[in-house]
Chains A and B, each alone.
Chain A
Amino acid sequence: MASPTARILLVDDEERFRTTMGKLLRKRGFAVEEAGSAHEALVRVQQGDVDVIVLDVKMPGMDGIQALAKIKTLDPLPEVIILTGHANVDAAVEIMRLGGYEYLLKPCPIDDLVVKIEGALEKKKAREKVLRA
């Protein structure tokens, strides 16, 4: 179980998917916030204090990859996990290049996502330690 202060931001345009995923993650002890679009997410990231962002690739307006790039320029600290409909080497390379933590194939079991979130949290903690030192 993750530390109770872990703050997760879910970004997905599919409302029902987002809210249910939020409920499932809250049950597992995360503090979850939701955003219905990449723009909403960027506004939230600017306010700071987000540990992990779970980002859907396919969204109207700005897609997940573009959003990832913007997020990283706004605030490089939060780790970003990308949810994608399809494993694609090019997209994966692009995600890693832009500083994404990991990508997951949709639909995926919530437990897989939790494992990835915990990994991302650990990585973030390690990075913060390095920054402080």
Chain B
Amino acid sequence: MKEHARYFWAYLPALGAFGCAVGTLSADRNLSGITLVLWGVWSLVVTFFVVRTILQERSKDEFTTRQLLQAQKMATIGEMASGIAHEVNNPLAVIGREVEWIQELLKESPPPDPQAQREIQESLHVITAQVTRCADITHRLLDFARMNKPVLQWVDLNNLIEEMVRLVERVTKTKTVTFERHYHDNLAPVWTDPPLLRQVVLNLLNNAVQAIDREGTVTVSTRDDAKGWVDIAIADTGCGIAPHHLPHLFDPFFSTKAPGKGTGLGLAVCQKIVTALGGLILVDSKEGCGSQFTVRLPRRPIETRKTFE
């Protein structure tokens, strides 16, 4: 209703008609007064629907503009990122080699002080670990920038998801996380790219587990409520997302995790993949109560329908 208020001028004719009607009725000229009332009601209804259509179109426009901007942002960042990642990889490789050489030298002629030797070894281990961490980031960046074109095939979603859930279940040892499954029985197969989709599901599951502090539940469900679409929902009872973080959720390098725990690329990659698969990701979150990420995939992406049928 608030939005309609912005279009108050469109309602002026209707209100004018009512005004005249009141005028004529009070002047006791019955017939034309009723006509005017009817005219007023009619133009009120027409204006309401016209304004509603305009508003819907505008929000649709805004949505596509936002999506377009996001896609452009991704492309630019992707290009920059792959350049930087390649440049950073070389010095990383040099550092790694030098560490290995120092370790080699230490093995041959260890320093006399055992304490010093231990500390040097420890430092070298830290350097190696940090180089590995950086390499992980650069490789993820390159993955992000150069995602291969999806290779589509018929996939049993429940199966694919269950594999990933089991994987995450196995590695989640430090917390008490209950995994609940609500798979839709007889879910029809989906025409999609299994490795890419696995990456998405794994990423979302990892996020869900990481959002849980010590104890909680991760609920995984599949649905096919909307015709031609399949939903994969992954919900957790974790920390939730602060409302002011929501607009940046899918931005590359945006992360609220502790340093070293996340690269800020997980959700960006997920979105990129899901978009390439013709779907979208819906987010529903309440700070302190948990979040739900829903991946909505077309049973069959539109491009392939054009090509193959």
Q: Which residues of A contact B (CB under 8 A)?
A: 14, 16-17, 20-21, 23-24, 27, 58, 83, 85-90, 105-110
Closest Cβ–Cβ distance, residue A87 to chain B (whole Å): 7
**Which of B90, B95, B131, B146 meets A88, CB within 8 Å?**
B146
Please tell me if the beta carbons of B135 and A27 are within 8 angstroms of each other in the complex.
no
Q: Report chain B residues within 8 Å CB of A21.
A: 97
Of A17, A20, A24, A85, the residue contacting B86 (CB under 8 A) is: A85
**A14 and B101: CB pair below 8 A?**
no
Q: Is A24 a contact partner of B97 (Cβ separation < 8 A)?
A: yes
Q: Which chain B residues lie closer than 8 Å to A107 at the CB level?
A: 89, 92-93, 95-97, 131, 135
16 A-B Cβ contacts within 8 A?
Answer: A20-B97, A24-B100, A58-B86, A58-B90, A85-B90, A85-B138, A87-B139, A88-B142, A88-B146, A89-B148, A106-B92, A107-B92, A107-B93, A109-B100, A110-B97, A110-B100
Instruction: From A87, A89, A107, A109, name the one whose CB has the most chain B CB atoms within 10 angstroms.
Output: A107
Which residue of the partner chain, among B89, B98, B138, B139, contacts A20 with CB atoms under 8 Å?
A: B98
Q: Which of B89, B94, B101, B104 contacts A85 (CB 8 A)?
A: B89
Chain B residues with CB under 8 Å of chain A are 85-86, 89-90, 92-98, 100-101, 104, 131, 135, 138-139, 142, 146, 148
Assuming A85-B138, A106-B89, what are 11 further A-B pairs, CB within 8 angstroms? A17-B90, A58-B90, A83-B93, A85-B85, A85-B86, A85-B90, A86-B139, A86-B142, A87-B139, A89-B148, A107-B95
Please indicate the chain B residues that have their CB under 8 angstroms from the CB of A89 in the complex: 148
Which residues of chain B have C-beta atoms less than 8 A from A90's C-beta?
148
A108–B135 alpha-carbon span in the complex (Å): 9
A80 to B89, CA, bound (A): 21
Specify the chain B residue showing the minimal Cβ separation from A85: B89
Complex Cα spacing A110 to B94, Å:
12
Rounded to whole angstroms, the CA-CA distance of A20 and B89 in the bound complex is 16
Neighbouring A residues of B138 by C-beta, 8 Å: 85
The answer, among A17, A23, A27, for a CB contact under 8 Å with B93, is A17
Residues of chain A within 8 A of B85, CB atoms compared: 85-86
CA distance A85 to B96 in the complex (A): 14
- Which residues of chain A come closer than 8 Å to B90, judged between CB atoms? 14, 17, 58, 85, 106
